[in-house]
Amino acid sequence: TKVRANASKHKAMSYGRMKKAEEELQRQILELFEKAEATDSDEDRRHGKGERGWDLVGEFRRRDSRLRKIREAMAALEEEARTEAVLKAKEREQTASDQDDEPKPRGRRPSDPGQAKPKDRTQRNFTDPESRIMKYASTGSFEQCYNAQAAVDSAFQVIVAVEVTDQANDKQQVAPMVESMACTLAEIPTGMDILADAGYFSENNVLVLEEFGLNPHVATGKVKHGEKPVAVRGRPPKDMSVRQRMARKLATKAGHEVYARRKVIVEPVFGQMKRVRGLGQFLLRGLKNVAAEWKLWCLTHNLLKLYRYGSLEPA
């Protein structure tokens, strides 16, 4: 779920604006030196040697500080662009292997990920540089956010694993969440159902879950509200891709019934924290601090569940 960061999106600057600001600040700094050289002797005469009527140092420091911040932000965006390009290249490879039976996509060959550059509209926030512009589901607007992750027990809605990421995409979060869950639980039951929406689907993620001995039910694409998949029967063909195998699994009566439980397991937990307990935005800044704050929210959620369920025996 996306949670607002403690930063205004209006305190962000796009990569395109950064490039223009860098050029302008460089020009202004050069002008300062030229003016200083031209007026140095005149100021010595008017104000005394070593005294200045114009605060050159202050003017220079303000512009130099701004220039350094902008260059740091640009370098960070460029590094993120290269990292994202590498991840997308891996996703393309996974998608290609998932869809071996489908026509190959046409178009230009993807460029070298190591040479990737940010788009001019890509933004970085100066208040909390590690937060990102993400689509906020409840309003449909784009806000400065973090992507908070939680794995929830189906019996009592107890949270068993948590993570926070600055990436809007969920595909890279499956392995970290399973590893976190393995650290939390004394033992992960073999064959335990894992339910996740289409944002988490990739061939690699399904294989990771299966390697942990889990039973993944991960949507392969978005389904319209109220739409039911055509039921399938019989044994699946041996030559099916991972995507086809998962889609077929969710189309079976048993698979559809299992996956349908997802919306009454994890979504209410996010609703309880946001709507009932007032998690409108994080108070802290920076990924590490926000992760600690999210864990505190999830800890108190579990304590409330423990208090309300009392002495009930586990399911």
- pLDDT, one tens digit per residue, over 58-101 is 888 889 999 999 999 999 999 988 988 887 887 777 666 655 55
Residue type, 159: I
Answer whether 0.85 is exceeded by the pTM: no
The DSSP output letter for 165 is E
Q: What element of type H or E holds 41?
A: helix 15-47
The tens digit of pLDDT for each residue in 161-196 reads: 999 999 998 999 999 999 999 988 888 889 999 999
Burial (CB count within 10 angstroms: exposed 0-12, middle 13-18, buried 19+), residue 115: exposed
pLDDT band at 314 (very low <50, low <70, confident <90, very high): low
Asked which of 43-57, 87-101, 191-205, 248-262 is least confident by mean pLDDT, the reply is 43-57
Tell whether the model's pLDDT for residue 42 goes beyond 70.
no
Q: For residues 9 and 238, which has the higher predicted lDDT (pLDDT)?
A: 9
> Is residue 22 scored above 80 in pLDDT?
yes
Q: Is the pLDDT assigned to residue 222 strictly greater than 70?
A: yes
What confidence score (pLDDT) does residue 227 get? 65
- Spatial distance between the Cα atoms of 185 and 193, rounded to a whole number of angstroms: 15
Tokens of 109: 């060959």
* 56 CB burial (10 A radius; 0-12, 13-18, 19+): middle
**Looking at the predicted structure, is the pLDDT value of residue 159 above 90?**
yes
Task: Indicate the domain borders of the chain.
Answer: 5-125, 146-309
Nearest to 153 by CA among 309, 30, 25: 309
